[in-house]
Structure 1
Amino acid sequence: MTPRDDSESAHSRWSDLDRPPLNAAALRRGLVREGALWREVEVVQSTGSTNSDLVSRAGEGKVEEGAVFVAEEQTAARGRLDRRWTAPARSGLFFSVLLRPAEVPVARWGWLPLLTGVAVATGLSRAAGVDTALKWPNDVLVTVGGEERKAGGILAERAGDDAVVIGVGINVSLRADELPVPAAGSLALAGAVTTDRDPLLRGMLRALEEWYGRWRAADGDAGACGLQETYAAGCATLGRRVRAELPGDRALVGEAVAVDGDGRLVLATESGVQEPVGAGDIIHLRPTGDAA
């Protein structure tokens, strides 16, 4: 789908006064500066997927590292395992960034979605005043009515040999009657002090710039730059009994005991073996064994 830019009519853009449009000019002023990571910030009214668009542009050589592409609405958004989801226009933050960590060994690029999770949690804590947690590998959790709810997700995709596009989707002002599934949540439902998306987006991108710079300066060594420790401290999966649904229709149940140096989740199984999981769906289990 061809993106529609911010030249839409004022009526359509302001049709929900509780959800005003992002201020693209102010975002550029606050983020794009000499020596900064972010080189350009583009906001469009609607597109299929910000990740797909940015991957395509990167493949055509049309964007540099530090490009930020934001949509007020996504009509074909994708999560891990190609899952689809939609949300009302301007009810959340849907954006993708292009990174080219050329000096970091490719074997360490698997930390990028986890690094983004730390940055998202940091930015939202500062700007929205909500406690967030991370579910390995890519979910952002908030607490609503005493229960953990998924308020967002992260998707990393390779864009050629030298680049990665990372997409972030966060439910900001989604109301209870708009939730796609009962297990979903939003910043508003979690008691955020603000649902103004401009400072929320700036906060996440500034935290991402900070953590990416630290990780890159350490040649991608997550332990040396403090990323591994920080991720573990904010990871709600650690210490929990989980079921890992792995490729090839294989499942593994155990206690999540660590995130190793490669960003893999380490499970201690009932057989006494510690097994690292690098890819798969992780389901938090209650003590009774029921999915959480």
Structure 2
Amino acid sequence: MNTPPPLDAETLRARLVDHGPYSVLDVVTVTGSTNTDLIAAANAGSADRTVLIAEEQQAGRGRMSRSWVSPRHYGLHVSVLLRPVVTARSALSWIPLLAGTALGETVREATGLGAVLKWPNDMLLDSERKAAGILADVVSTLDGMAVVLGIGVNVHHDAADLPAGAGGLPATSLAAEGVRVDRGELLSRLLERLSETEAQWRAGDPGTAVDSRLLERYRSLCTTLGRRVRVEFGGDRVLEGTARDIDEHGRLVVRGRDGKRIPVSAGDVVHLRSAER
């Protein structure tokens, strides 16, 4: 396949900054990690809703420092700096779930593919193949608490170019699932949906329970619910049971073998795997 065209930075700025909700938007050809770059920008005082997009990442990170690498122009690698005012740091755990909701809804509408979410940070296609990952870094700055939210999506990769697995799941892309899209249009729609979703969250009280409508939107996409799961916390700590719910704090509620319902925070989890046989 021919190399896909680059993103048009001016078109993106016109839509998302000049006539949209974002403060600043930059596109770079290559960087190590857009999240790492925006963490530095957050500490330097960059504005709420600053966006950084890279055509290629050479040191992209997933959860637990797992690598995320993609050829130039083939994927979406975008990070957004958010500065919500929250009364509790734990409320920020909802931000990657909001991003997952926006991503899943956008991909479904733009491609017709059955995008679903694996709690807390993966988007899957056909229920079992990973096409996107989400990473949120919380940053304490002189201007207050900030979150750098990173989203990586496999867009134009052919099946033969994808790694064998990602976090225990086989990898895929939109193209490998038979859908070709314009990256700029997909990115614009994703960032617009993310802004709408995150603004709805801010309009409530981010320090307490999330808006019930947002919670239902996430639950409707979450393929983890109803499954037997194995939660690995690191060391020898393991929880096996059935994923029963996502609570108002964004935690996965697992019913253990003893029948007790145990809420699990994403920050405490090293691996979440299916335990179904």
Give the % identical residues.
43
1:182-197 aligned at under 5 Å gives the runs 182=165, 183-192=170-179, 194-197=180-183
Aligned to 2:12: 27
Aligned residue for 1:72, secondary structure, equals strand
Aligned residue for 2:250, secondary structure, equals coil
Deviations 1:85-136 (A, max 9, x none): 3111111000100000015543311100000000111122222332210000
Q: Flag structure 1 segments of 5+ consecutive residues without an equivalent.
A: 1-15
Aligned to 2:146: 163
Aligned to 1:174: 157
Work out whether residues 130 and 191 of structure 1, in 8 Å CA contact, stay in contact via their aligned partners in 2: no
1:116-265 aligned at under 5 Å gives the runs 116-143=99-126, 148-160=128-140, 161-182=144-165, 183-192=170-179, 194-220=180-206, 223-265=210-252
State which of 92, 100, 111 in structure 1 corresponds to 2:83: 100
Q: Which has the higher strand share?
A: 2
Q: 1:203 to 1:186 in 2, by over 3 A?
A: same
Work out whether residues 118 and 224 of structure 2, in 8 Å CA contact, stay in contact via their aligned partners in 1: yes
Q: 1:261 to 1:124 in 2, by over 3 A?
A: same
Shift of 1:254: 0.5
State which of 230, 255, 264 in structure 2 corresponds to 1:277: 264
The 2-side partners of 1:56 and 1:148 are apart by 35
Q: Please, what is the CA RMSD of the aligned residues?
A: 1.6
Aligned residue for 1:51, secondary structure, equals helix
Deviations 1:42-61 (A, max 9, x none): 00010000000000111112
Aligned to 2:50: 67
The 1-side partners of 2:42 and 2:80 are apart by 11
Using the TM superposition, name which of 102-111 and 84-93 deviates more.
Answer: 102-111
Work out whether residues 107 and 113 of structure 2, in 8 Å CA contact, stay in contact via their aligned partners in 1: yes
Work out whether residues 117 and 140 of structure 1, in 8 Å CA contact, stay in contact via their aligned partners in 2: yes
The 2-side partners of 1:40 and 1:127 are apart by 25
Aligned residue for 1:186, secondary structure, equals coil
What is the one-letter code of the residue matched to 1:25? E
What is the one-letter code of the residue matched to 1:157? D
Q: Flag structure 2 segments of 5+ consecutive residues without an equivalent.
A: none
Work out whether residues 127 and 199 of structure 1, in 8 Å CA contact, stay in contact via their aligned partners in 2: no
Shift of 1:66: 1.0
What is the one-letter code of the residue matched to 1:245? E
What is the one-letter code of the residue matched to 2:227? R
Work out whether residues 6 and 73 of structure 2, in 8 Å CA contact, stay in contact via their aligned partners in 1: yes
Deviations 1:60-102 (A, max 9, x none): 12x2011110000000010000111311111100010000001
What is the one-letter code of the residue matched to 1:42? D
The 2-side partners of 1:282 and 1:215 are apart by 26
Aligned residue for 1:159, secondary structure, equals strand
Work out whether residues 139 and 152 of structure 1, in 8 Å CA contact, stay in contact via their aligned partners in 2: yes
The 2-side partners of 1:208 and 1:232 are apart by 17
Aligned to 1:40: 24
Deviations 1:116-166 (A, max 9, x none): 0001111222223322100000001012xxx62000100000122421000
Work out whether residues 31 and 54 of structure 2, in 8 Å CA contact, stay in contact via their aligned partners in 1: yes
Normalised to the residue count of structure 1, the TM-score between the two structures is 0.87
Shift of 1:230: 1.0
Aligned residue for 1:232, secondary structure, equals helix
Work out whether residues 240 and 275 of structure 2, in 8 Å CA contact, stay in contact via their aligned partners in 1: no
Structure 1 moving runs of 4+ over 4 Å: none
The 2-side partners of 1:26 and 1:97 are apart by 18
Work out whether residues 215 and 225 of structure 1, in 8 Å CA contact, stay in contact via their aligned partners in 2: no
